Chain A
Amino acid sequence: MTSSEVLSAPHFMEFPYTRSTGPMVGAFLTGLRDRQVLGVRDSTGRVVVPPPEYDAATAEALPHDQLVPVGPEGVVTSWSWNAHVRPGQPFDRPFAWALVQLDGADTSLLHVLDAPPEQLSTGMRVRIRWADETTGFINDIACFEVVA
């Protein structure tokens, strides 16, 4: 290398955080490990998924030992097309992000939807595609896929 060449090198900064989940998110992730999505019923009677620790209206703690199973299928309430894939994203090809209201839930969960762009529509039915191995992490849901 001559002195006129510009030096350049890869450089990364990484923070390998380990986070405590707390009882509510821990129970939600434990459910995912068992291939079951859980929500919690709040003070207004709505089933919230994923379950928050505290009630949005009253700020009271919600019971993490009385979670409500919801369905593996649901409806897309909103979506966004991810045309340019970045490193670390769930797929190495374009895909959609979607808000999915699972059957039995009153709120929507943000996740990945593996569907061609021409099939995407608000109100479409989708189902969970589980990861081959579940570990107790949000990626236990590999993605959502279209219900034929």
Chain B
Amino acid sequence: MSEPVTGIVTPIRLDYRYTPGTSPSKFLRGMKEGRILGQRCASCSKVYVPPRGSCPMCGSAFSEEVEVADTGTLVTFAIVNVNFANRVIDLPYVSGEVLFDGSDTTSMVLVQGASVDEVRMGMRVKAHWVPKEQWDFTFANIDYVEPTGEPDAEYDDFKEFV
């Protein structure tokens, strides 16, 4: 303890009570049942996952509830080489943006089941859910996605989401 002090740890923490609101609550109730729910915009036909009640592009109120698949396409990704607080995943790992089939928005999901040099844009993936008895009102029910082994999606089919 004789070395001079050169650094200090100064955590900053904000404690909230989060109430998700009507549409995100539907999404979270779907999660509790192992389903991925969204809403379709009647005006522009886009399906938003999770739903927000109204379309961020055209402002229309959503009316149609949609269930999307738990398979999808990895549209883009990042290779993570530095772990951060609360994450205990073997490095390096891939954080991906997944377009679940039937959705027009991407979700950030951990990618497992493929080494980082195998992961690629267009790779077809499927959600790996935590055990059913652990399902709760959270997107964390999807532990990660893993490759399905199907042929890759064509770039033109997902380029709008990259």
Q: How far is the CA of A19 from the CA of B12 in the complex (A)?
A: 12
Number of A-B contacts (CB under 8 A): 75
Give chain A nearest CB distance to B19 CB in angstroms: 5
Residues of B within 8 A of A6 (CB): 19, 25
Q: Is there an interface contact between A12 and B15, defined as CB atoms closer than 8 Å?
A: yes
Interface: B6 (CB within 8 A):
yes
Residues of B within 8 A of A20 (CB): 6-7
Q: Is there an interface contact between A17 and B10, defined as CB atoms closer than 8 Å?
A: yes
Q: Is there an interface contact between B8 and A13, defined as CB atoms closer than 8 Å?
A: no
Interface: A14 (CB within 8 A):
yes
Residues of B within 8 A of A136 (CB): 5, 8
Q: Is there an interface contact between B13 and A27, defined as CB atoms closer than 8 Å?
A: no
Give chain B nearest CB distance to A135 CB in angstroms: 9
Q: Is there an interface contact between A21 and B5, defined as CB atoms closer than 8 Å?
A: yes
Residues of B within 8 A of A27 (CB): 4-5
The answer to whether A16 and B9 touch (CB under 8 A), given A3-B29, A7-B137, is yes
Residues of A within 8 A of B28 (CB): 7
Chain B 13-45 residues near chain A, CB threshold 8 A: 13-20, 25, 28-29
The answer to whether A33 and B15 touch (CB under 8 A), given A7-B25, A7-B28, A19-B8, is no
The answer to whether A21 and B7 touch (CB under 8 A), given A6-B25, A11-B17, A14-B85, is yes
Interface: A30 (CB within 8 A):
yes
Give chain A nearest CB distance to B134 CB in angstroms: 16
Determine the interface band of chain B, counting residues with CB < 8 A from chain A.
Answer: 20 to 34
Q: Which of chain B's residues has its CB closest to A6's CB?
A: B19
Q: Is there an interface contact between A21 and B6, defined as CB atoms closer than 8 Å?
A: yes
Q: Is there an interface contact between B4 and A87, defined as CB atoms closer than 8 Å?
A: no
Interface: B149 (CB within 8 A):
no
Q: Is there an interface contact between A14 and B19, defined as CB atoms closer than 8 Å?
A: no
Interface string of B56-95 (1 = CB under 8 A from A): 0000000000000000000000000000010000000000
Residues of B within 8 A of A16 (CB): 9, 11, 85
Interface residues of B (CB under 8 A from A): 1, 4-20, 25, 28-29, 85, 137
6 interchain pairs (CB within 8 A)? A11-B16, A11-B18, A13-B14, A14-B13, A18-B7, A20-B7
Known: A11-B18, A14-B14, A18-B8. 6 other contacts (CB 8 A): A7-B25, A11-B16, A16-B9, A18-B7, A21-B5, A88-B13
